[in-house]
A and B are shown apart, each in its own frame.
Chain A
Amino acid sequence: MVTPLAPPRSIGAFLRAEPGRFYEWVMGQPSRLAGFCLVSIVIGAGSYGAATGYWRNPTQALYTGIKLPLVMLLTTLGNGLLNGLLAPLLGLNATFRQTFTVVLMSFAITSIVLGALSPVAWFIVWNAPPLTGRTNIASPEYAMLQLTLAVFVALAGVIGNVRLIPLLRQWAGSGSVARHVLLAWLMGNLFLGSQISWVLRPFIWDANRPVEFIGQDCFQGSFFETVFEAARRVIFL
């Protein structure tokens, strides 16, 4: 019998936790753990978003600071049912609430890493010349900024997901089940998360439009159509 434990009281305790401790948290009081994760996502991803949006102006910083945590939370909510269905189908004995909490935990770790990197992101943004005059979307400065910010998000995402593997492995009692479950969740979250990001754009700077929370053409097109079109242009010139 696993004794329920109080949820993590500090970020340090949360990040250092062993898989067994994570399991006890998920089993013991998932709602309180979810609350901790929620706060981590709002503060961590919010501060990173604010740093990113600050390149344009403080209003954009506020909007991006709200939108980035929103992407994570909407992705978790939107895929909650699917993730909860996929887990038992792939061999993991977990309830909907538990899978929801585990996915939220992964996003919380990602957000904490992003929050820790937000001073660095802010410094990079502060050093980037504004998107006016000489600097434009084709400038290497813009590419450098985009690349650095994207690398940070990718790094945080990888860390957030890699931290789940030992927990899932112990939980499922099988490495292959853990990998399959994680891969399935990842694919679902990436698919939905990309489109939610597309709808909530712009995050950095849309030079053709004034500062706004969500662009007027938010539901026009999709992330994947744009990627496909860009690939088609590159391949067929």
Chain B
Amino acid sequence: MNENNPVPPLISQTDAAQRLADKPNPPLAISPSGPRPLGDDPAERVPIAHAFAAIEALLRQPRRLLFQLRQPGAGKLIVGMLFVAFFCAAVYGVVAGTFSGGTQLWAAPVKIALGLFISAAICLPSLYIFTCLSGAQSRLAEVCGLLAGLLMLMTILLVGFAPVAWIFSQSTNYIGWMGFLHLAFWLVATLFGVRFMKNGFSHAQAKSQAGVNVWIIIFLLVAVQMTTALRPIIGKSDTFFPTEKKFFLGHWFDTLREASENNGTAHRY
């Protein structure tokens, strides 16, 4: 056994916590390092009564929403946020369905809303594990709340993009262009949602954002694959679900090739 390096005394979390407890409480207003603590403004402590208030808080007072998501009994708020996200996704789905019309008017909203929620459910375990690994002191309920915030902000923004998408849906027959447009809108909306979520994690004493960044890549990949798994969302098909399994890159190349052969009007997307 090597005795050259005696074991140095290590400071445990309990010891560190005891030392912190012995110190006087720091002022709440401004933290010398890291972001301003949540709840230092009395306005942030006002409870969010219903889903519409949650939308307003998300857009105008995100810190208030973040504070409320950390409070006990935030489950009702999270359910409300998920409901808003589902409704907004369905609204955007109807607009996406207007490109083809017919059965796509109900199939597209069902697929978009369900696809979004299934993607989130698939990625939730890895999000929780990566936040734990980053040292963030977030409970599973808080992680669910931040994910619900991501979905809600994303889908609200999609509803904002809906009129633009509708105009193009009525103006063009080129499915490749419509697919690109919807993906671009979805990407922009997702980036805003991700920004909200990362803002939330910055208040959870995370030492690193690397894990969340990796998770974002996984979430984006799952979501784009979901659009392929549930195809067609924009175009027409005889069946509700695809009969052939494909990865999204292969599907996109096939669609573009088919669209160019048919003067831009491929049937599936």
Contacts and interface: CB of A to CB of B under 8 A. Distances in A.
Nearest to B218: A120
Contact of A93 (B3, B13, B133): B3
B12 A171 contact: no
Interface residues of A, number: 49
B137 A93 contact: no
A172 interface: yes
Given A24-B12, A120-B126, A127-B228, A16 B137 contact: yes
Contacts of B226: 123
Given A163-B133, A177-B5, A116 B125 contact: yes
Nearest to A141: B247
A18 B13 contact: yes
A210 interface: no
B265 interface: no
A170 B12 contact: no
A124 B225 contact: yes
Nearest to A155: B214
Contact of B244 (A3, A12, A95, A129): A129
A19 B2 contact: no
A107 B136 CA distance: 22
A74 interface: no
B11 A116 contact: no
B135 interface: yes
A173 B10 contact: no
A93 B5 contact: yes
A16 B4 contact: no
A116 B14 CA distance: 28
Contact of B129 (A93, A113, A127, A163): A113
A171 B133 contact: no
Interface of A: 2-3, 5, 11-12, 15-21, 23-24, 88-89, 91-93, 95, 109, 112-113, 115-120, 122-124, 126-130, 140-141, 144, 155, 159, 163, 170-174, 177
Interface of B: 1-14, 16, 121-123, 125-126, 128-130, 132-133, 135-137, 139-140, 214, 218, 222, 225-226, 228-229, 244-247, 249-250
What are the 7 tightest A-B residue pairs by CB atom distance, in nearest-first order? A15-B132, A116-B129, A20-B10, A116-B125, A116-B126, A129-B245, A119-B122
6 contacts: A11-B132, A15-B129, A15-B132, A20-B10, A120-B218, A173-B5
